Structure formats: structure tokens, C-alpha cells
Chains A and B, each alone.
Chain A
Amino acid sequence: MKIKLEMNAVKRSKWYEFLIRFVFGGLVAATAGIIAKQFGPAIGGLFLAFPAIFPATATLIESHEKRKKREAGFDGTRRGRQAAGIDAAGAALGAIGLIGFAAVLRLLIVSTSPWLSLFLATLVWAVLSFAGWNLWRGKRKRATITDA
């Protein structure tokens, strides 16, 4: 399956779904700062990789898929959970990139400019995530062929 943009997905979302994710994202960013101030940066730093909006996103995916199937006359519960599970599998691959992001940032943040180190770390996140996704997708394709 090719990577594509489906702009209609934004239209299908309700205004409060955007608000929920904004609030969750904002809360995690602010809470990480409060924790760092109260308990020190070593504890606060853990929360820079907290799955901030993951529960909200997975629940939205589940309900959107369910709604689509219901409109077509099916139950859709299983389909909704499968779709959220596939999104989570993608997040696991993205988390490999996130490990790379943190490792590169740790290595560079003091020796180079902070902006450059953030840029390079983000680049490493993107490359690792995309490479991991490509490998995973290739493996799934081969498994499907073997099954057939």
C-alpha cells in the first residue's frame, strides 16, 4: 500500500477531538516541566517520551472505524480495535526512532548548537522510523505470500 494523504480524515473529525489532543499535549508538556522543577531534570526528562496523546488517538481511531463500519451495516467493533492496533504497531516503530532521537540529542546537545542538534535528532527519528516501517511492511508482505 502506498503512502498517501487523505484530507477528508480531518473533516470527519469533530472539533472536540482536536481540543482533547491539544489539551493532553499541553498538559504533558507543562507537567514534564513541573516534574523537572519539583523532582529534578533526571525524573522530568523521562516524561519527554511519555505517550502523551496515545490513548486519545487510539480511541478516536477505534470510534472512527467503528462508525464507518456501522454506516455500512456492520458491527465494526473488531475492525475498530484492529485499526487502533495497527496504528500502535506503527507507533512501536516510531518509538525506535524516538530512542535514536534521544541518543543523538544526548550525544550532540552540548557539543553543537542546540538547534542543530534538535534538527539532526529529528532527522534520525524520521529516518529510523521510516526504515523500520519499510522493513516491517516488507516482512508482512512476505508473510502474506507464504500464507497464500
Chain B
Amino acid sequence: MTEFLVRFIVGGVVVSIFAIMGDVLKPKSFAGLLGAAPSVALATIPLTIAKDGLAFAEIEVRSMLFGAIAFFCYAVVVSYFLRRKNQPALLVTSTSLLLWLAVSFGLFALSD
């Protein structure tokens, strides 16, 4: 329980730092780069290494590559529907999470 509480706090702090940096940077397209910052990875990989060892972390990082490719597809699709189709942000960003799941798990299944 303590481990997940630490993960929650460290993750929240690191993600918030990147989010605030994204708030104050202009132009918007540049600030957007921080939306795909490796914040969760930076917060959790040191904790994983400390708790479960390097071998466990290495396997996580291998899969992270598929998640990152899925993130790229997600952001391209979200940008298209917001800019070209003028759809509401919450609807587009939430429903497109299904695309992230499909691409990341699809790539993971193919790699097996």
C-alpha cells in the first residue's frame, strides 16, 4: 500500500511540474511537446528499480516503446479531430484513449 501511495505522490508531483511548464510556455505547439514528456516513466522507473530490480524495469521499458508509438498515433488523431473536425476536446481526447489501448496492446501482441 505504501509503495503505491509513494508512486501516487511522486507521479502526481512530476506530472504536475511538466504540466505547469506546459502552461507557461508559448507558443501552444511548443508547450504541447511537454504533453508527451516522459513524466510517468521518470517518476516510476527509479522506484521500480529500487523495489523490483533492474531486470523488472528493463522489461517495463521494452513495452514502453509500444506505448510511446501508441501515444504518437493518439496525439495525431486528437489533433486532427480538434483542428479539422472542430469536435469538443473532452470527447475527442477521452474516446481516443481506446485508440491508444488498441495500438499499444496490438503492437505488444505482434511482438510476442
- Indicate whether A25 sits within 8 Å of B27 (C-beta atoms), given known contacts A61-B89, A81-B86, A81-B88: no
How far apart are A136's CB and chain B's nearest CB, in angstroms? 7
How far apart are A36's CB and chain B's nearest CB, in angstroms? 6
How far apart are B97's CB and chain A's nearest CB, in angstroms? 7
Interface string of A81-105 (1 = CB under 8 A from B): 1111111111111111111011101
Complex Cα distance, B9 from A27, in Å, reads 9
| A120 at interface by CB-CB < 8 Å | no
How far apart are A22's CB and chain B's nearest CB, in angstroms? 4
Assess whether A102 is in contact with B64, with CB atoms less than 8 Å apart. Answer: yes
- Residue of B12, B58, B84 contacting most chain A CB atoms (<10 Å): B12
Interface string of A119-142 (1 = CB under 8 A from B): 001100100011001001100000
We find that the number of chain B residues with CB closer than 8 angstroms to chain A is: 85
Interface string of A28-65 (1 = CB under 8 A from B): 11101110100011111111111111110111011000
Within 8 A of A (CB), among B1-35: 3-5, 7-16, 19-20, 22-35
Closest to B67 in A: A49
- Residue of B35, B37, B42 contacting most chain A CB atoms (<10 Å): B35
How far apart are B15's CB and chain A's nearest CB, in angstroms? 3
Supply 14 further A-B pairs (C-beta < 8 A) apart from A46-B108, A55-B97: A29-B7, A33-B4, A51-B75, A54-B93, A57-B22, A61-B28, A81-B87, A86-B32, A89-B75, A90-B30, A105-B41, A106-B65, A110-B54, A122-B42
- Chain B residues within 8 Å of A, Cβ to Cβ: 3-5, 7-16, 19-20, 22-49, 52, 54, 56-72, 74-76, 78-84, 86-90, 92-94, 97, 100, 104-105, 108
- Chain A residues within 8 Å of B, Cβ to Cβ: 1, 3-7, 9-10, 13, 18, 21-30, 32-34, 36, 40-55, 57-59, 61-62, 78, 80-99, 101-103, 105-106, 109-110, 114-115, 118, 121-122, 125, 129-130, 133, 136-137
